[in-house]
Structure 1
Amino acid sequence: MGRKKKAFAALIPALTLVATAGQGTLGANASETLRTANAAAYPAWSADGGTGTQRLQGAGRTNPPTAAPTDPQGGQMGDGGPMGDGGQMGDGGQMGDGGPIGDGGQTTPPADPQGGQTSPPTDPQGGQQNGGQQNGGGQNGGQGNGQGNGQGNGQGNQPPANPTLRADQFVDIRKAPRVQQPRRGRQASTGVFASSCGVNKGQAHSNPDNVLAAPGVVNGAHHIHDYVGNLDTNAFSTDETFAAAGTTCTNGDKSAYFWPVIRLRNGQDNSDRAQQSQADGNVGSIVTPSSVKIQYLGNPRAKVTALPRFIRVATGDAKAVTNGLKNAHASWTCSGFENRAFTDKYPLCPRGSKVERVLNFPSCWDGQNTDSANHRDHIQFADPRTGQCPQGTKAVPQLRMTLAYNLPAKPLAFALDSFPESGHDPVTDHGDLINVMDEQLMAKAVKAINGAKAGTRIKRRR
């Protein structure tokens, strides 16, 4: 293998393959499972939505001596396996919670926009990326330990196909669980501080990197991120380059805000990243949000203290399909229906209503660290029932990003960019913050949140 080919292989690590396309579906305890995750997602707006029991393992770590980059959302990456959407688009059977709006019967989803089965993409440096079996055990009788070398030398049976998008993942918003929130105490901080940072129109700032979870790794996310705020954000950004960069925010907020894009599946990707996106299983035209609302909220039980500059904060889990739902904190709803939300379904919105992604971030800081090995331990969510921060942590401003989109109310018409093995499952939605506000702006935010006057408070959701 030549030097160029080795470099390419290092940039596209093997995928953790999922045995069945239905793994993202919740079982008999769905009601209780959903209740906990949406509750954790909303310290200020908790829902009777869903969570799982498995912990995120190995986030931000790599397994020497492999050259594969760190899995940005947890676990170790292998070194082989085919890419793509994983075979034919199934017909989805009946719509899980009643089918599309106004129907309720069986549906026949549209054809796979890529035209039936997808074969592993050709390695631009020559040969197919058929890879070996997974690192850590060799599924289906093959020889594991990441021995695939990019030339199809894996032995044994073919690994299972990656999961595909399913029609039953699209459900009428009127069938979503109702959302709730903790009661406010006397010491509640009820104000709001907002940054207006634009919508990343025309993909002015986007890339498949994740500087928070995979610094220094090109295509570390394996999906495209939209960015607003700091103009420098990429795999090689540092605190120094963040501080020196400009921003799209009108108030001078230099923080980096980013999230995976949404695509129309039958659209055309004409960008210079189209080939890599298709190799990662993300196809179609990228949709620009119609609005991006960035707000910092208070705590229902306490006043907030300042977020430290350059703290890294993540919400959601891009690997929730394989890691379990413990950290699946993003919610999906529709404008005008914000009293209901899904964690594991895409909403089908009535005419005139927009799809909304609500990304609430953890807001109970340990008071010392600006990051941690799994990017979670240094800042946690408040108790979803009481809104109280865990012992040993202090309440800080809670970021909420609300992203609105004009999307068709049709199953399989749109999907989130995701890791190839995650099958565009809505439960994998996530977002990231690197706080680069200077001390003066952060002090202004804290004052606004703690000293809210009448008319500046967020309305309680009923």
Structure 2
Amino acid sequence: MLRFGCSQVVIERLDPLVNPDMSPSSHMHQVVGGNAFNASMPVTDIAKLASCTTCHFDQDFSNYWTANLYFRARNGTYKRVPQMANQFNDGDNAGITIYYTSPNRNATTAFKPGFRMLTGDAMRRTSENLGKNMQQCYRCFSEPNFGGSMYPPCLDPKWDTDYFPKQPCLGGIRSNIIFPLCWDGKNLDSPSHRDHVTHPTGGPPSFSVVNGTCPASHPVKIPQVMLEVMWNTTAFNNKDDWPKDGSQPFVLSTGDKTGFGQHGDYVFGWKDDTLQTAMDSGCYLRNCTQLTSQTPKVKNQCNVPVTVNENIDGWMNELPGGDWA
């Protein structure tokens, strides 16, 4: 298992997978990884297009992005909830914690240049009833010093009808997004950005159980990718600011108040065969002699210029792109 932090590279309303060439796209994203990120990313070796990365391992020029979270105040205005660095990622500029998991050495095939995928459904508003095997989930930290424990990433759902809590999370909210681990072995992408990958025959496994049997249609086992987002909700703990009707105040950038529509996008960009080497070498967390790392000070300097001119951090009357969902 690799576990490492990637600082924020840009927050912008762009989505080169779902809305290629569209600027702005429908909703806001938080993006981490290499500086090749833009409105249209070609199906090619992204590692050769980027000159820097916000990720801990400087061989990883991939891009990872997820929906932002917003606080909806009593007066109906919105403000973005900032990300914060996770445990062991001190010094990072917000961002996302990335996991790559394999059941054993030499047990998975790393992604190929040009590979990309999407998990989750931005339009989902109901539970998939997967119990502990749900692929998008949340955890409310009830203490200011949450400890950042990476386990369990997904609990039995406490919020089947309302994913986000109705009481302040004094230590913030954690969001986990897990990608499928079986690939058809042929296509680097698909029109849906989902059909070329799938879950094992027994359904999606819980993290980090990655040893399910892949179906004949998708026989190649790939590393399980998981994104872990930490949102700093502490500025919004005053319930006098929450909606008067008692409803929970948090909403994803898609307009989703349930949380079930959380989703993640991935464009592979590891240099050469470095990810395959790491998966075959028994690397654990950030302990990997086969890879080289960079300090937070260095990776925080990597960024992508903002191209969509709109409100990012101030109070706003509607979500960027409108309350379309």
Q: Do these two structures clear the TM 0.5 threshold for a shared fold by scoring above it?
A: yes
AA aligned to 1:381 is H
Q: 2:183 aligns with which of 355, 365, 369?
A: 365
Q: Which moved more, 1:395-404 or 1:243-252?
A: 243-252
1:371 to partner: Cα distance: 0.5
- Give the unaligned 5+ runs of structure 1: 1-191, 269-280, 457-462
- Shift of residue 266, structure 1, vs aligned partner: 3.1
Which residue in 2 is equivalent to 1:406? 232
Give secondary structure in 1 for the equivalent of 2:277.
helix
State the shift of 1:224 in Å: 0.7
What's the CA shift string for 1:306-338, capped at 9, x where partnerless?
Answer: 21122111111001149x959983111234683
SS at match of 2:260: helix
SS at match of 1:333: strand
Query: Aligned-pair distance for 1:350?
Result: 7.1
Q: Does structure 2 conserve the Cα–Cα contact (< 8 Å) formed by 1:334 and 1:349?
A: no
- More helix by percentage: 1
Contact 2:125 2:259 in 1 (8 A): no
Q: 1:284 aligns with which of 79, 85, 95?
A: 79
Give 5+ residue unaligned stretches, structure 2.
Answer: 87-95, 142-148, 206-210, 240-246, 288-325
Q: Name the counterpart of 1:215.
A: 20
2-structure distance, mates of 1:374, 1:296: 23
Please give the TM-score of this superposition, normalised by the length of structure 1: 0.46
Distance 2:28 2:77 in 1: 9
| Residue 389 (structure 1) aligns with | 214
- 8 Å Cα contact 1:260-1:431 kept in structure 2: yes
Shift of residue 347 of structure 1? Answer: 3.4
State the one-letter code of the partner of 2:278: A
Q: Which of the numbers 241, 244, 247 marks the counterpart of 2:49?
A: 244
TM-aligned CA distance change 1:435 to 1:195, over 3 Å: farther
CA contact (8 A) 2:3 2:284 kept: no
Q: 2:259 aligns with which of 410, 426, 431?
A: 426
CA separation in 2, counterparts of 1:302 and 1:229? 26
Deviations 1:273-301 (A, max 9, x none): xxxxxxxx993234223433111012489
Q: CA deviation at 1:208?
A: 1.2
C-alpha deviation, 1:402, in angstroms: 1.0
Within 5 A, what are the aligned runs for 1:295-374?
295-299=99-103, 303-321=107-125, 329-335=135-141, 338=152, 340-342=155-157, 345-347=163-165, 352-374=170-192
Q: What is the aligned length?
A: 242
Contact 1:332–1:358 at 8 Å: present in 2 too? yes
2:187 counterpart SS class: coil
Name the CA distance, whole Å, in 2 between partners of 1:226 and 1:217: 17
Residue identity (%) = 25
Q: 2:71 aligned with 1:264, yes or no? A: yes
CA distance in 2, matches of 1:428, 1:455: 30
CA-CA distance at 1:240 after TM superposition? 5.3
Structure showing greater radius of gyration is 1
Equivalents in 2 of 1:258, 1:454: separation in Å?
A: 21
Change in 2 beyond 3 A, CA 1:282/1:315: farther
- Does the 8 Å contact 1:364/1:381 carry over to 2? yes
What is the TM-score when the length of structure 2 is the normalising length?
Answer: 0.64
Q: Give the conservation status (yes or no) of the 8 Å contact 1:267–1:285.
A: no
Tell me which amino acid in the other structure corresponds to 2:78: V
Asked if 1 retains the 8 angstrom alpha-carbon contact of 2:3 and 2:285, the reply is no
Question: Residue 425 of structure 1: CA displacement?
Answer: 2.9
